[in-house]
């Protein structure tokens, strides 16, 4: 498959061919009285196209080729070369935060995923002018002793989770989140985290941006605006989309996102990790963080039948023991 830069060079080659053809035609008709100024005027549109290709489109193509995910923002604070620092800072901070949270939802079932997620290095692959284009890619260490296949698999999982974000707005055309999203994103935990990421990347008035387009290296793309923020905020109050089951699970509370009302329940026997939605205050969050608890509620599984997302209706202290399913 051709890279974005290859495609740009192919477009430029067509323009060069058109220039050559026009020059040959004009040289053949020099006796018709065409002046050099008229020749230059006739060719100027072609050179303008080439100038745009190499000054504007080439930097964007290079960013796309080097990135796992690309963010493109437009709005009053992102116009031309005078883009406002507040827009760049808002966008880069939001992206970094959401990539970490997505990694926590995607990483191995047990262990301290938050610590691992924070160590994963997302590199900014470039910033292109003419509105804001920012590319991000996971830093993949070269093959060496100590870097195992499982580490590579973890990085692949993180990238796939990040690339699920542009899929979310594709299911919002009717003013709500369509149930078809459950088929596109079959892991409920990743789906829930991707919806939160999409909501938080949707621009606010304070950002100075109007739209944020998210594109993945797999070709998926979606556009986020204030409308999408409102729809997602409402939809995330009821996180379970698929078949609902009742159950109780015992595990350790990790990675609490108080603003989202989400936490990870880890080290669950025969399950591993479970993303949980709950209504709790900051005091509740500090109380439960790092503690072994029993969580009872309604949950949703992935296609393999593994519990992945729960609406927690009751949280109580417990000692580690096997999960109880009803």
pLDDT tens string 290-325: 889 999 999 999 988 999 999 999 988 876 444 444
CA distance 302 to 282: 30
pLDDT exceeds 90 at position 37: no
pLDDT exceeds 60 at position 115: no
Cα angle: 225, vertex 83, 230; to 5 degrees: 15
pTM over 0.85: no
Residue 302, SS3? Answer: coil
pLDDT exceeds 80 at position 72: yes
pLDDT exceeds 70 at position 83: no
pLDDT exceeds 70 at position 282: no
- Which residues, 6 or more positions from 114, have their beta carbon under 8 angstroms from its beta carbon? 104, 254, 255, 264
CA distance 302 to 221: 24
Say what percent of the chain tops pLDDT 90: 26
pLDDT band, residue 231 (cuts 50/70/90): very high
Question: How many helices (H) and strands (E) would you count in the chain?
Answer: 10, 11
pLDDT band, residue 92 (cuts 50/70/90): confident
Of 219, 163, 164, 156, whose CA–CA distance to 2 is shortest? 219
The pLDDT assigned to 30 comes to 59
pLDDT exceeds 70 at position 132: yes
- Are 249 and 324 spatial neighbours (Cβ–Cβ below 8 Å)? yes
Helix (H) or strand (E) holding 191: helix 188-201
- Give the Å distances, CA to CA, from 106 to 117, 193, 266: 9, 9, 13
pLDDT exceeds 50 at position 79: yes
- Are 136 and 94 spatial neighbours (Cβ–Cβ below 8 Å)? no
CA distance 274 to 301: 10
pLDDT higher at 133 or 248:
248
Q: What DSSP string runs through 17-38? A: HHHHHHHHHHHHTGGGT--HHH
Judged on CB neighbours under 10 Å (0-12, 13-18, 19+), 292 is middle
Of 65, 214, 200, whose CA–CA distance to 132 is shortest? 214
pLDDT digits (tens, 9 = 90+) for 144-184: 555 555 567 777 888 888 899 999 999 998 888 998 999 99
Range with the poorest average pLDDT among 9-18, 107-116, 257-266: 107-116
CA distance 174 to 224: 14
* Average pLDDT score over residue span 110-138: 63
- Please identify which residue in the block is written with the tokens 């080290």: 267
Of 166, 170, 158, whose CA–CA distance to 212 is shortest? 166
pLDDT digits (tens, 9 = 90+) for 207-228: 788 899 999 988 899 999 999 9
pLDDT band, residue 53 (cuts 50/70/90): confident
The pLDDT assigned to 48 comes to 83
Range with the poorest average pLDDT among 27-31, 134-138, 186-190, 305-309: 27-31
pLDDT exceeds 50 at position 204: yes
């Amino acid at each position: 498959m051709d890279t974005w830069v290859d495609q740009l060079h192919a477009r430029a080659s067509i323009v060069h061919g058109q220039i050559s053809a026009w020059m040959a035609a004009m040289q053949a008709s020099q006796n018709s009285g065409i002046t050099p100024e008229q020749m230059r005027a006739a060719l100027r549109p072609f050179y303008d196209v080439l100038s745009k290709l190499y000054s504007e489109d080439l930097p964007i193509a290079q960013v796309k080729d080097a990135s796992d995910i690309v963010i493109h923002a437009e709005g009053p604070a992102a116009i031309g070369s005078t883009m406002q620092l507040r827009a760049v800072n808002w966008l880069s901070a939001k992206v970094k935060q959401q990539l970490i949270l997505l990694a926590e939802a995607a990483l191995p079932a047990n262990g301290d995923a938050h610590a691992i997620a924070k160590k994963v290095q997302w590199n900014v692959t470039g910033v292109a002018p003419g509105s804001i284009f920012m590319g991000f890619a996971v830093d993949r260490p070269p093959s060496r002793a100590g870097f195992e296949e499982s580490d590579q698999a973890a990085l692949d999982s993180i990238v796939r989770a990040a690339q699920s974000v542009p899929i979310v707005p594709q299911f919002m055309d009717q003013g709500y989140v369509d149930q078809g999203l459950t088929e596109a994103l079959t892991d409920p935990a990743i789906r829930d985290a991707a919806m939160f990421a999409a909501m938080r990347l949707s621009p606010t008035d304070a950002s100075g941006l109007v739209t944020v387009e998210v594109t993945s290296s797999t070709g998926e793309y979606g556009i986020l605006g204030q409308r999408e923020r409102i729809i997602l905020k409402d939809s995330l109050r009821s996180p379970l989309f698929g078949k609902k089951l009742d159950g109780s699970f015992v595990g350790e509370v990790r990675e609490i996102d108080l603003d989202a009302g989400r936490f990870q329940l880890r080290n669950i026997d025969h399950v591993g990790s479970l993303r949980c939605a709950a209504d709790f205050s900051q005091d509740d969050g500090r109380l439960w963080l790092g503690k072994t608890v029993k969580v009872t509620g309604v949950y949703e599984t992935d296609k393999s039948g593994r519990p992945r997302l729960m609406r927690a209706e009751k949280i109580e202290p417990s000692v580690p023991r096997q999960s109880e399913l009803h």
